[in-house]
Structure 1
Amino acid sequence: MTRTEEFEEVRPLLLAIAHRILGSASRAEDAVRVTGRRWADTSVHPESVESHLAAEVTRVSTETLRSDRLDQDPHAGPWAAAPLLTGPDPDPERPAELTDSLLTAALLVLERLSPLERAVFVLREAFGCSVEETAAAVGCSPEACGQLVAAIATTSDGDRDPLPWPTYIAGTQNVARLLAAIVPPLRRIGVTVENRVVNGRPGSVFRDRTGRVLNALTLGVHEDRIEEVHLVVNPDLIAHADPVAEAYAILREANQGR
């Protein structure tokens, strides 16, 4: 396969990442073109073309945002772009660079959304809630929630299939930024966050206003600092979670009903 063919094979993913960051189809196309030129001009042969190009289009897109902000305010100080994450990736099928790019794109979208839209975005994309479950958590009708979900999807994914939300986040600053982006909007719609022991580790369980479990996460803590977050995506794989056994029984039933 030629380098051009390799690039074209991952173009849909690159467009989706760029669109999520920039919020514009035309600007996403521009970012992908720049990424393509950089790919054509380099002699690098990465182990994973997909993860390498995902990281590159993320850099191009965030550089564009930084330039936009400086153009709007020439006296603005340095912009702290979303940092790429470091650390091991527990999913061998998803290289760390690709996970970094996906989370960076998701965080930049969260920072552009209103608090209500953030809550819906997290419930749908990070927690995997159905429209009905999201509507119940938000406190609106499924019809109204569906309209909101569609509007957010258009903004964040450009009517393409949604990008997967990473289930592992590493690095103290990255964890802090993620939690700051998702917890306050969820609290504003009545979601409670309970500190529990999950699988023998510190963790949190998210419940809607009726007490129904939405999702959970485990935390990697070192010297009183949270350095890792693992989203729970399959409660059946959790062992020794007696303090939240009832919660995961409810979550299992909900998942089986989807």
Structure 2
Amino acid sequence: MFSISYRMLSSAGDAEDVVQEAFIRYQHALEDGAVIESPKAYLSAVVTRLSIDRLRSAVVRRETYVGEWLPEPLLTDTSHDPAAHAELSDSVSMAFLLVLERLNPVERAVFLLHDVFNYGYDEIASIVEKEEANCRQLASRARRHVQAERPRFDTTPEQRDDLADKFFAAFTDGDLDGLVSLLAADARTYGDGGGKAPQWAVPIVGAAKVARLFLAMSKQLLTHKLAVERHEVNGQPGAVVRTRAGELINVFALDIADGKVQAVRSVINPDKLRHLGPVADVWALGRRPRD
């Protein structure tokens, strides 16, 4: 249920709320004497409908969002089902979720339920309360949009991890040449501070510019004794930056293709990190006297 709602909303907090509300409704239905033959089907329908409603209101909020908007990051290297995890990892990548943002809420639901979660059109029609033929049309239209912009991840997980290890090692060491060598010529870096943490206002484009940005950040790592922890983030290589006390600073996710880092996404908005643990006050950290 969480997997469906998170892919719908790109927000772990909202997805958790939706799942909780769905189970409350399920429990109330049972208490009222309802006969629910398939709890999975019932909960899938409720979660999807609640997610559609939330997504409609979220679209309005995002129009006034300060700076670049990115999905809330998930640390996905804790999966206990490697086969299922590998199958679904690309569909939870930040790049993929950003493509889904271009679909309307019902298109997004129909596409995800059919193409990602393998629901039949008859089931989907019941869930979204539309005709089966209409659902097929919605899925086809959504699929064309997604396939036109779907990100490529054409290297193996092992190759991606190796390149990511080298990238974050070069970042930690302040190795400018090393960073440049690992970045695609037109590499981009996106930052999401939401106006609540310091962050670059527009994407940084080009290997040299991105590398210089990370070189500058590496000096901040040293100054404030921050740790860079390698993790899988939204099914792709990434890292978490923490203070000495273990508080979160930000989360990085990499897009890797053709043996190069194509994009780096940095989420530092504290509201998007709280589901991962205690979050540092980045403004206060910047004012703190150096050791």
Question: Same fold by TM-score, threshold 0.5 exceeded?
Answer: no
Larger Rg: 2
TM-score by length of 2: 0.26
Higher RCO structure (Cα 8 Å, ≥6 apart): 2
